A and B are shown apart, each in its own frame.
Chain A
Amino acid sequence: MASKYLTGVGSESKQLATWYFTFAAILFGAQLLFGLVAAIQYVMPGFLYGVLDFSIARIIHINALVVWMVFAMFGSVYWLLPDETGIETVGIKIGKLLFWIFAAAIVVVVLVYLFIQVGPADATTIWFVTEGREYIEAPRWADWGIVVVALGFVGNLFLTGMKGEQTGIVTVLMADMIAFAGLYLAGMFFTDNISVDQYWWWWVIHLWVEATWEVFVGAIAAYGLITMIGAHRKVVEMWLWIEVAMLFGSGILGLGHHYFWIGTPEYWWEIGALFSALEPLPLVAMFIHVLYDWGKTQGAEMAREGVTEDNVKSVITNRPAFTWFVLNAFGNFLGAGIWGFFHTLPQVNLYTHGTQFTSAHGHLAFFGAYATILVGMMYIAVQGTNGIKVMKHTKASLWAVSMITGGVVGMTVALTIAGYVQVLVSRAQMGATWAGYFDGQSGMWFSQAMDWRLIMGVVTFIGFIFLAKDLLTTGKNPVHER
């Protein structure tokens, strides 16, 4: 089976995966670009005022983030399905057709965001311009489009999983992706009651990013460990099941930490605090798992007959991808785990809820938990598509990983400081009013933090340019072993 990992040639499923990855990378660029616009607007409030206001820049910044990740997730599944199941993906033609529908719909949605922006207060706006619900602003027609595409994708996955070999990784993905697709339905209705609105809205947002997406990452990490360092499948899959138990065990009821202040009863304080405080545990487990397996397989290699310190070979067959996977282990734990835990207890959250603290956590968590591993999967696809046996770092891949990581960590630190100022001045001291809000925003520490956020955003963007260059060119680079 090992040889199949190294080539994507001839598999339609893998070809479709590369389409998904390509579109994902383009949207990643768009995400960073519009993030820069929003960051500039904090520093220079007049920038594009009345043309491309903060709200629109932010919608595109975050929607592009969500969508590129969904695209890269779909791509990852189409990539690994033939390897795991041993067969070509069932119904791949429909999968390919759905890709084009999905991509076209996204382009239309973004153009409408950019040029129509807002509409009158009626159902037409909700259906055709914006649904106005944070992160899932996509108008209702696009919601239905997404449901159709997601069903097609889940169909591909299930039919292939049931026909071919059903490994532990595929089983986890099947269960996870059906929940992922189904949860989106919770975000597709209108109600006058904003508490009910936000109650269900969090089913989509939280149960995606703090439950189903995390399990997805566990499955992808398992696949990566098997393909890139030859970790033992049985060990990896056992860890995967433990991670699933811990992630869903903490993450599903951890949903309660979003129900502290939206009109919902007080018992969510205890439930949310307890279970969300447990959420970092699986992330620690995942971190240990990746490093442990790496050390274990490398150690086994060194213990082989005739292998000495001088001629020992690395067990890693894809350096750039593995770098991103290890970063994922760190970043998930740090960004989602630590930065999340910072403000998850209701006693703290009463003051931090709705401040830049959340934004700091969001930046490091989405980068650490998802962006890293999905970029890693893009490198695996580049390796497979070009028939590379051992893929090495290039100058560009090193610059990319250093600048993107440095930039995101820098933004996170800056936003954390901004969050502190907001919590202390606007919230604790000034009682959260309009005047209190702007007192906090005008403070020197806040504005300096926002300057640094912008600088670090630019660093991240330059890193992205290196990444794009590397992904496009490294496949033909003679440095790799073929």
Chain B
Amino acid sequence: MANKSVWSDNRFWRRTATWVTGFASVLLIWLTFDTSAQIAMGNDQDLQNKVTKRVPGPTVINYKITYEMSAKRGHEIPVIGEKEKFFGRDDYSEEEAGALLHLGKLGSQAKNCMDCHTLLGNGAYFAPDLTKAWLDPAWGPDGAMQALTGKNTKEEAMAEFLMHPDQYPTHARMMPDLGITAKEAKGLVAFLKHMSSIDTNGFPRNFGKIKGAVHGK
């Protein structure tokens, strides 16, 4: 055995495998604690005190959200601004907003949204990404969707579309009618608005900013 190299010794490699795996796992668990604290949902106090959270509390639906270039971060981040009415109100309590978000998140799963769309970039690629859908110019005052659905606000246009997607085709590929009720639609729009306020490290890049060279701008 004296001449046998450790490099061709199975026991050496078994121990290496065990130590490497153990070390990687411990590091992952340690990082998980740090990340979990950083992505825990904020609350209404944070929003009132302008404390920035990576995932703001549900009452973020009471505020205007924009997506702006941060010189410090080098990419765009969601910016929570002044109060903004959401379905006619800007005073949703923590409980009310939380219930809406809960309904919306449940709805997003019960309707299999992720099997056509992407949320935070994850899901299927058959339909547009919804990460910042709330901020999409198409739903804004200058976009086509408010006129198409005959509604005067972004949230009402979105809710109307979600309830009757087959009546408002934007492409040959149409969203099917998923039996979404008015209540569920309101929850889903709250869920989308909340999602747009999540700090996604600049994804998607340049969202809604570039008109594109094809349009000569």
Contact = CB atoms under 8 A, between A and B. Distances in A.
Interface of A: 38, 41-42, 45-46, 49-50, 53-56, 58-59, 117-123, 125-126, 129-134, 137, 168, 171, 190-199, 234, 237-238, 241-242, 244-245, 248-249, 252-253, 255, 258-269, 271, 350-351, 353-356, 358-359, 422, 425, 427-439, 441-442
A263 B21 contact: no
A431 B214 CA distance: 13
A438 B128 contact: yes
Contact of A430 (B31, B108, B112, B210): B210
Contacts of B176: 49-50, 53
A192 B137 CA distance: 26
Interface string B67-110: 00000000000000000000000000000001001111111111
A269 B20 contact: no
Contact of A238 (B13, B21, B106, B212): B13
B41 interface: yes
Contacts of A122: 106, 110
B181 A241 contact: no
Give chain A's interface secondary structure class: helix
Interface string B110-150: 11111110111111111111011100111000000000000
Given A41-B126, A192-B98, 8 more contacts: A123-B106, A132-B108, A195-B54, A245-B13, A248-B17, A263-B200, A265-B35, A432-B205
Given A120-B184, A193-B55, A433-B208, A58 B24 contact: no
B39 A436 contact: no
Given A123-B106, A168-B10, A350 B205 contact: yes
Contacts of A118: 110-112, 178-179
A194 B105 contact: yes
Contact of B203 (A245, A260, A268, A435): A260
B8 interface: yes
A426 B28 CA distance: 34
Contacts of B171: 45, 438, 441-442
B187 A427 contact: no
Contact of B187 (A121, A131, A433): A121
B50 interface: no
